Amino acid sequence: MWLTSKIKQILMVMKPGIVTLDYPGQPAPAPAAFRGQPVWDHHKCLGCGGCANHCPARCILTRDVCQELRVMLYDGSRCTYCGRCADVCPEDAITMSNNFQTACDDKNDITTRMELFMLTCQRCGRCYEMEKTNVIDRMELRGFRYDNLESRALIRQTTDTFSPEALAATEHHQRPSR
Amino acid sequence: MRKELEAQLAAQLRDEVVCVEKTDQRTIFIDVKREAIRRAVRIVTEAGGRYMCGVGYDNIARDGTLGMVHTFSMDHNDHFICVRTKAPAIDPVMESITPDLPSAGWSEREFMDMLGMQFTNHPKPKRLVLSDDWPAGIYPLRKEVPYDLVPPGAEDVAYQLDEAPPGTKIVPIGPFHPSLHEPEHFAVYVDGETIKGCDYRGFMTHRGIEKLCQTQVSYNEVPFIAERICGICGSVHATAFSQAVESAGGIKIPRRAEYIRTLMLEIERIHSHLLWLGVAGHLIGFDTVFMQAWRVREQLMWLCERLTGNRKTYGMVLIGGVRRDITPEIAEDIRRVVTNIEKELRVIHRAIEKDSSIHKRTKGVGTITKEDAIAWGLIGPVARARGVDIDARRDHPYAAYNDMKFDVPVLTDCDVWSTLVVRVLETYEAIRIIHQVLDKLPAGPIFVELKDKIPALRHAITTVEAPRGESTHYVITGEDNRPDRWRVRAPTYTNLQAVPLMLLNEQFGDFPIIMGSIDPCFSCTDRVAVIDMASGKARSMTKRELDFMSREQLQRG
């Protein structure tokens, strides 16, 4: 019994042989449907902030520096590559590329920062409601937003009109520490 | 079912029963006054209820109480029974049910830590979840405690181990150890090489996911976070959470989405069982099995990459359906891969099933009788290897399992070997289910838009059969587009409680494989510290020594 098992085991190992890939010697591209690093198309993005509202990792931040300028920042160091941002984007400005080789020694290399010039809506400044029929996904944060880009923190607070005080207050925002 | 229970409860507890209601096809809620909780639980247990978990929740803002729910599963007639009670927050004392049901021990200890409840007559009222230096009087799951609170640490506190039985020495295993995947600490009491007892201190990587999801994110972000509770059964948690919210909100999802969920769950089961088979081989020093099982598993990972966009953490499940469809081409791809896996797994199965060296390490090891397995509420392959015939896929069909034909392998040898066989047989069944899903896959949409708001303060419970056993989720819906309370009970939570019993009177060299047989998580640091209690000296043991001990064990066996 012992011997037959061992013979079977030798055959089991011999048949497939060596299966280790010669990566990175040979490139091993990810399939087309792969959810890799998200890429923003700044021509299409209209700065609605829907991706920032729905990012489970909270790694997309939105900050209004003034009435006309909105900064969108994607912090790739925390991204979980779930692809939810690409799902909810109404303009298809986000695509999940198949780039998975994102290791780097400076996290700014995998950070995307867009400065968008915003036209002002006559009624509320920033009006956009996403997926109108979907109550569960309805846009929560509208108006002007003041996430802290320095400490990469999302601040769930908005104002209807641009408020320099709110901007100044969130600049001092700190994560809790011991 | 509801009427019979109500009659029994009314007869025995009279006006201490507040109400008995049936919220959907399978869920019965029993509200009792807190004085009667233990008796109510006893009645439910006698009616055939198997304890699943306890759920504590903070209701202070509404009526100044802390709620406690004990949940039970009726495996023979597809019912969940939730016994609910509440105690005022200023005096949160209620009677412990652990003396009757040992598997409730951890649930109650958890809410002593997290909500400040007190359970009288609890046999082991020690800290379970919170770290030793967490300040007294701060209960993290209470609503007034912010999610990002970081209290100051302290150096001079330590967990007091249970008293060792006389004549034994303590071998601490962990927090970092080759046979443990995650930081957990076992203090194993040994007499010579025979294990005489064990104390457990874990929860060292408690990430506060429940608190995070109750305070920060919205409903449809939770499935992605739920998926990251476990690296292996991600889809299980996402599906269980989504089903619980769908059940609470009365959302009906398309049948095609249910089929795709079933498919993902079964792909995950194949993946998990192959992974476990490899790790089990590794733990008993048989690395050929490890290499070959993981080689077979790799093609499934590549399949998932093409199918979902990622090797693991598929991100397929959302409340309301699934995110990606199965096209005919990908269906053909799935068939090809799983057929190949079945073929290769049979080769491995035949090569190891009669191998006497594996038998020596696993047969008769980690035995626990069927009666004990039932008493401790064991679940999953661990229970099915002890002759307990339970499987949530068959007993509480969810997703598309009511359309599937499959067998539930049950063995009665009660040892580690039979858990191995159960897992291999289950893999074949999973492949059978995948073929059925692809055969019967109905046409239609894969996602349903949610038209109405999800009503607040509805309770719902679901279980999903994860590869390691059933995983139970309890959701109380909230007002702010997020759950008010979300309780996750992963299968290891239950199975780990019975590990001291499995270890009893076993050889110390078998610790890794007994631990591994419940499929907890493993890690890789290569030394344990042996402390000689008589001389008080500590010395370290290297991996070589451990390997040597384990080889000696093999030769002796």
Of B291, B305, B352, the CB nearest to A34: B305
Structural domain includes residue B507: no
- Judge contact between A53 and A61, C-beta under 8 A: no
Subunit contact A82:B313, Cβ cutoff 8 A: yes
Tally of CB atoms within 10 A around A18? 5
Cis peptide bond prior to B146, omega within 30° of 0: no
In a domain, A21, yes or no: no
Chain A residue with the nearest C-alpha to that of B479: A136
Cβ distance of B355 and A136 shorter than 8 Å: no
How many Cα neighbours within 13 Å face the side chain of A110?
19
Q: Are B424 and B297 in contact (CB under 8 A)?
A: no
Main-chain dihedrals φ then ψ at residue B176, nearest 5 degrees: -115, 125
Domain shared by B327 and B447, yes or no: yes
In this structure, is residue B381 part of a structural domain?
yes
What pLDDT score was predicted for residue B384? Answer: 94
pLDDT-derived band of residue A163, with 50, 70 and 90 as boundaries? confident
Which of the listed residues B456, B489, B522 is the one where a domain comes to its end?
B489
Same domain, B128 and B219: no
Q: Is residue A161 part of a domain?
A: yes
> Residue B420 falls within a domain, yes or no?
yes
**How far from B240 is each of A92, A132, B462, B556, CA to CA, in Å?**
30, 26, 6, 45
Binary contact (A9, B355; C-beta < 8 A): yes
Probe site for chain B from A37, A82, A133 (most B CB atoms < 10 A): A82
A137 interfacial to chain B (CB closer than 8 Å):
yes
Indicate the residue of B218, B224, B450 with minimum beta-carbon distance to A82: B224
**A3 touches B: beta carbon within 8 Å:** no
Pairwise CA distance, residues B339 & B458, whole Å? 43
In this structure, is residue B409 part of a structural domain?
yes
pLDDT of A1 over the 80 cut: no
- ipTM more than 0.85? yes
Domain assignment of residue A13, yes or no: no
- Mean pLDDT across the stretch A44-57? 87
Q: What is the pLDDT of residue B531?
A: 33
Q: How do beta strands B93-95 and B118-120 pair?
A: parallel
Please judge whether A54 and B357 are an interchain contact, meaning their C-beta atoms are less than 8 angstroms apart: no
B450:A134 CB<8 A: yes
CA dist A38 and A41 (Å) reads: 10
In a domain, residue B12? The reply is yes
For residue B323, list chain A residues with Cβ-Cβ distance below 8 A: 83, 87
Q: Is residue A178 part of a domain?
A: no
Average pLDDT for runs of 10 along chain B of length 557: 84 85 89 92 92 93 94 92 94 93 92 93 90 89 90 84 87 78 84 90 83 88 89 90 92 95 96 93 91 95 93 91 94 96 95 91 90 92 93 94 94 92 96 96 91 87 92 91 90 87 90 84 29 38 53 56
CB < 8 Å to A157, chain B: none
| CATH number of the domain within which B329 lies | 1.10.645.10
Establish if A128 touches chain B: CB-CB under 8 angstroms.
no
Contacts of A134 in chain B (CB under 8 A): 449-450
> B212 to chain A, minimum CA–CA distance in Å?
11
CB contact under 8 A, B351 and A8: yes
Asked if residue A124 has pLDDT above 70, the reply is no
CA distances from B120 to A129, B36, B37, B97 (A): 52, 13, 12, 9
In a domain, B544, yes or no: no
Contacts of B320 in chain A (CB under 8 A): 136
* Residue B500: inside a domain: no
Nearest by CB to B309, which of A9, A35, A56? A35
Shortest alpha-carbon distance between residue A73 and chain B (Å)? 19
**Helix ranges restricted to H, B319-413:** 328-353, 356-362, 370-375, 380-384, 392-395
Report how far residue B512's alpha carbon sits from residue B523's, in angstroms, rounded to the nearest whole number. 11
Lowest mean pLDDT among A24-28, A166-170, B181-185: B181-185
Which residues from B are below 8 Å from A51, CB to CB? none
Work out the minimum CA distance from A140 to partner chain B, whole angstroms.
Answer: 9
Instruction: Report the CATH number at residue B50.
Output: 3.30.460.80
Q: How many domains are there within chain B? A: 2
Burial B19-38 (b: 16+ CB within 10 A, else e): ebeebeebbbbbbbbbebbb
Which CATH number belongs to the domain containing residue A149 in this structure?
A: 3.30.70
A20 belongs to a structural domain: no
Asked if the structure places residue B253 within a domain, the reply is yes
Domain termination site, one of B471, B489, B507:
B489
Per the structure, the complete domain to which residue A110 belongs is given by: 32-171
Number of domains in chain A: 1
Q: Which of B341, B347, B349 is the best residue to mutate to test the A interface, defined by the most A CB atoms within 10 Å of its own CB?
A: B347
Expressed as residue numbers, the domain containing B234 is 209-489
User: Is A134's Cβ below 8 Å from some Cβ in B?
Assistant: yes
Cα separation values, B471 from A173, B189, B269, Å: 39, 31, 13
Q: Which two tokens stand for residue B309?
A: 């966009």
- Least CB–CB distance from B454: residue in A54, A136, A140: A136
- Say whether the peptide bond before residue B175 is cis (omega within 30 degrees of 0): yes
- The reply to whether residue B309 touches residue A96, judged by beta carbons under 8 angstroms, is yes
Question: Same domain for B424 and B294?
Answer: yes
Which of B147, B148, B150, B224 to mutate: most A Cβ within 10 Å? B224
Structure tokens given for A12: 């089991």
DSSP per-residue letters across A62-94: EEESSSSEEEEEEETTS-----HHHHH-TT--E
For residue A161, name the pLDDT band (cuts at 50, 70, 90): confident
CA-based nearest distance A48→chain B, Å: 18
Picking from B119, B146, B173, the residue at the C-terminal end of a domain is: B146
3-state secondary structure of B188: strand
Identify whether the C-beta of residue B100 lies closer than 8 Å to the C-beta of residue B41.
Answer: yes
Q: Tell me the H-state helices in B14-123.
A: 37-46, 60-63, 105-115
CB pairs < 8 Å spanning A and B: 106
Asked if the Cβ–Cβ distance from A178 to B449 is below 8 Å, we say no
Please check whether residues B373 and B230 belong to one and the same domain.
Answer: yes
Burial class of residue A15 in the structure, from the number of CB atoms within 10 Å of its CB (0-12 exposed, 13-18 middle, 19+ buried): exposed
The answer to whether B309 contacts A5, with C-beta atoms less than 8 Å apart, is no
- Across the interface, whether the CB atoms of B148 and A175 are under 8 A apart is answered yes
**Residue in B150, B288, B355 closest to A176 by CB:** B150
